[in-house]
Structure 1
Amino acid sequence: MTTQHLLDGLDDRSRHPLRPMANKVPEVTVLFWIIKVLTTGMGETASDLLARVLGPVPAVAVGGVALVASLAMQLTVRRHIAWVYWTAVVMVSVFGTMAADVLHVGLGVPYAVSTPAFLAVLAAVFVLWYASERTLSIHSVRTRRRETFYWAAVLATFALGTAAGDLTATAGLGYLGSVLLFAAAICVPALAHRFSGLDAVTAFWAAYVITRPLGASLADWMAVNGSRGGLALGLEPVTLAWTLAILGLVAYLAASQREGRVRAAA
């Protein structure tokens, strides 16, 4: 156990002496990244679908209420629960898309302006988080304050990724070109960590940001019509298919969690 882990543990016990909180973020595995990309794409098309069916203002209102409810549930539980955690991620994805779209469509803010603005917001969250906790590691999200910083960072990454993906798609690359760009870009943090000594925390958050435009561009490419360079599968089928994929994978994680607890108790 490292000195930092000991300090984190002492910090957690001082904040919650009677009921220490378990780490609230899932283990980062290949399955984690697959589900993360799926939630980004599903959030993109679901947001567009809600705006079309309900109208932009009611869609934002519904998305905001659902986001608050899902985050409240996530903050209430004292350990990682797969379906609670990933429900919150999905709602952050939906609302993060809406936030970026409202700025561009509703207020006329260009993506070239909103993208660096969301980047600045994310940087501010990281600066405040580190100044308060001296760590940005997701393996130490065991206090309410750290978890609040974590979800603020997650929301900022989704808004940033949405704006960045739309920026590249509308700047000439198109949706398929954006998919290829971000598929290559997401390999950079992993390779830098593996071969150039980039620390794990920086590599994680860099890849985390890129999952958003990658998944959103892929979902858009599948959904939009041929005149926009897409496969014309439609918002409803793509949203449904990606939702079912998320449900299946999260159900598998939940079952694995239960099996792990049973083994630990045996």
Structure 2
Amino acid sequence: MSNKVPEATLVFWAIKIMATTVGETGADYLAVHVGLGTAVTGGMMLVLLLAALAGQLRTRKYVPWIYWLTVVLVSVVGTQITDALTDKLGVSLYASTIAFALALAVVFGLWYRSERTLSIHTINTTRRELFYWAAVLFTFALGTAAGDLATEALGLGFVIGVVVFGALIALVSTLYYVGSNPVLTFWLAYILTRPLGASFGDLLSQSQAYGGVGLGTINTSLLFLTAIAVLVIFASATATANATAARTVSTPASKRASK
């Protein structure tokens, strides 16, 4: 099995941020505007996520459309988990943020204890992949709780939320480029892109009366889903081209070795 997680390129981060935006706006659209409610929306998305995850686990290599479909669905489910705790069970955002941070720490601890690495460059066994997706789920849930805590409970608002979380990601990126631990900086950025994407999604979708642009949840979701689809097609074409080039290079070498 080859590594099943893409390289953390600019395209990777662009899709990741837009996937988090879709997780925020898509969940709101289905639960509120369609009227399905949090429980029904969460149940539907969980079933779809399990189906996508099963497909992802069956593949033997990175397949862009399956991988990113799973990420989008994890984003929606992660959002629904936090919303259910906050809106239905009355759990404070402070408590859920702490709880998800601890849960993520437990996943990382178990992952490292088992595999001695948290690197995304070696997701080449089923066990590592299960740890990876568990971590991804909790990063989305944590990012949702932390983002809502900052923009709503602490009153930062959507614009300041985008600026603050964008600045934090820029800081983490700077730390990476000056030589900080690449695994640590990756996961910090991965967590922070969730509240950034959520704040950006709320900024675009919410009405102007609430400080947003007023595009609405369906328009924002469709806009970003289209952009994600275009980038995934690009990623698929790039992966195919790279695989073809690798085979082209290896074939002459194999012929020389056989002579």
TM-score normalised by the shorter chain: which range applies?
over 0.9
Question: What corresponds to 1:259 in structure 2?
Answer: 241
Matched, 1:60 2:33: no
Question: What corresponds to 1:245 in structure 2?
Answer: 227
Secondary structure of 1:41's match?
helix
Matched, 1:50 2:30: yes
CA contact (8 A) 2:205 2:215 kept: yes
| Distance in 2 (alpha carbons) for counterparts of 1:68 and 1:113 | 27
Q: CA deviation at 1:187?
A: 1.3
Aligned length: 245
Question: What corresponds to 1:12 in structure 2?
Answer: none
Q: CA deviation at 1:37?
A: 0.4
Deviations for 1:167-203, whole angstroms, at most 9, x for unmatched residues?
Answer: 11111100111100000001122222233x4211001
Unaligned runs of 5+ residues in structure 1 are 1-20
CA contact (8 A) 2:104 2:135 kept: yes
Equivalences for residues 162-201 of structure 1 within 5 A? 162-170=144-152, 171-195=154-178, 197-201=179-183
| Distance in 1 (alpha carbons) for counterparts of 2:38 and 2:183 | 36
TM-score by structure 1 length?
Answer: 0.90
Give the residue type in structure 2 aligned to 1:39: A
Report the RMSD for the aligned CA atoms in angstroms. 0.9
Q: CA deviation at 1:263?
A: 2.3
Question: What corresponds to 1:113 in structure 2?
Answer: 95
**Alignment match of 2:77 (pick from 87, 90, 95):** 95
Q: CA deviation at 1:230?
A: 0.7
Question: What corresponds to 2:211 in structure 1?
Answer: 229
Q: CA deviation at 1:227?
A: 2.2
Give the residue type in structure 1 aligned to 2:180: L
Give the residue type in structure 1 aligned to 2:97: T
Deviations for 1:2-35, whole angstroms, at most 9, x for unmatched residues?
Answer: xxxxxxxxxxxxxxxxxxx100100111111111
| Distance in 2 (alpha carbons) for counterparts of 1:238 and 1:42 | 8
